[in-house]
Structure 1
Amino acid sequence: METSAKLYSLSFSNVKTYLFAFLFVAGNIALPQLCHLVPMGGPTLLPIYFFTLIAAYKFGFRVGLLTALLSPVINHLLFGMPAAAALPVLLIKSGLLAGAAAFAARYTKKISLVALLGVILAYQVIGTAFEWAICGNFFLAVQDFRIGIPGMLIQWFGGYALLKAISKL
């Protein structure tokens, strides 16, 4: 399924870049708090990535990158989650997600389930390789594939639904 949409690539000199990044970071702060009310909600639902996907796909790499980098750091400073030891991997995966989503949007120029699946698999597979290199533990590195499948499905179908809902903005 594909939907045509208005997709942007905002520059760092555009005030809208920071406004949208602020809104998506707020979403990436609120959603994990809700998900952490459920046992294992963070590792299972992967909420810190959701609005990064939307930000980068709809508004481009710069909005996505700001969202990707600020969300985990602000969450850590405010709530201690993610733990400091997990920040490097989350920042890498979030940055990869921003890059993959912005690239897919720019390449396809449409909101597509296939493109979103490619984005999610790309950031997860490459991010897992980085995580394995950093932590040296393959079992830990593949955690998102062991218990985070529900979160990836939410990113895929929920991301598609939200992107479709805001497609004409």
Structure 2
Amino acid sequence: METTAKLYSLNYSNIKTYLFALLFVAGNIAFPQLCHLIPAGGPTLLPIYFFTLIASYKYGFRVGLLTAILSPIINHLLFTMPAASVLPAILIKSSLLAGTAALAARYVKKISLLAILAVILSYQIVGSAFEWALVGDFFAAAQDFRMGIPGMLIQWFGGYALLKAIAKL
């Protein structure tokens, strides 16, 4: 299933880059707070990645990267979540997500369930390999695949639905 959409690649010299990034960072602050009301909501629902996916796919790598870097750092500073021990892995995965989502959108030029699935699997697999190298524990690095399947499904279908809803903007 694919939907034609207006997809952008904003530059750092464009004020819209920063405005959209701030909007998506706000989403990546609010959504995790809601998810953390559920026991194990963070590791299960993976909320810190959701708006990074949307930002990158719709508005390009620069908006996505700003969202990917600022969201976990601001969340950590405000709420100590994510914990400092997992912050490097989350920053790596978020940055990979920004890159793969922007690349997929640029390549397919449409909102596609298959492309979004490829993005999610790519950043999770490569990110888990980086996390394994960081922590030296495969079981810990594979946590998103053990617990985070619901979150990946939310990213896949919820991301697709939200991107479709804002397709013409």
The residue matched to 2:86 in structure 1 has which SS?
Answer: helix
The residue matched to 2:85 in structure 1 has which SS?
Answer: helix
The residue matched to 1:111 in structure 2 has which SS?
Answer: strand
The residue matched to 1:7 in structure 2 has which SS?
Answer: coil
Match of 2:106 in 1: 106
Identity of aligned residues (%): 79
Give yes or no for the alignment of 1:138 onto 2:138.
yes
Match of 2:59 in 1: 59
CA offsets 1:3-46 (integer angstroms, 9 cap, x no match): 00000000000000000000000000000000000000000000
Match of 2:159 in 1: 159
Deviation of the 1:85 alpha carbon: 1.0
The residue matched to 1:84 in structure 2 has which SS?
Answer: coil
The residue matched to 2:6 in structure 1 has which SS?
Answer: coil
Match of 1:85 in 2: 85
The residue matched to 2:81 in structure 1 has which SS?
Answer: coil
Match of 2:123 in 1: 123
Match of 1:68 in 2: 68
Aligned equivalents of 2:76, 2:33: Cα separation in 1: 12
The number of residue pairs the alignment matches comes to 169
The residue matched to 1:28 in structure 2 has which SS?
Answer: helix
Aligned equivalents of 2:157, 2:82: Cα separation in 1: 25
The residue matched to 2:82 in structure 1 has which SS?
Answer: coil
Unpaired runs of 5+ residues, structure 2, are none
How big is the alpha-carbon RMSD for the aligned residues of Structure 1 and Structure 2?
0.2
Unpaired runs of 5+ residues, structure 1, are none
Give yes or no for the alignment of 1:42 onto 2:42.
yes
> Which one-letter code corresponds to 1:132 in the other structure?
W
Deviation of the 1:84 alpha carbon: 0.7
Give yes or no for the alignment of 1:9 onto 2:9.
yes
The residue matched to 2:3 in structure 1 has which SS?
Answer: strand
Deviation of the 1:56 alpha carbon: 0.1
The residue matched to 2:9 in structure 1 has which SS?
Answer: coil
The residue matched to 1:38 in structure 2 has which SS?
Answer: coil
Mapping of residues 9-28 of structure 1, within 5 Å: 9-28=9-28
Aligned equivalents of 1:86, 1:72: Cα separation in 2: 10
The residue matched to 2:111 in structure 1 has which SS?
Answer: strand
Aligned equivalents of 2:84, 2:136: Cα separation in 1: 17
> Which one-letter code corresponds to 1:77 in the other structure?
L
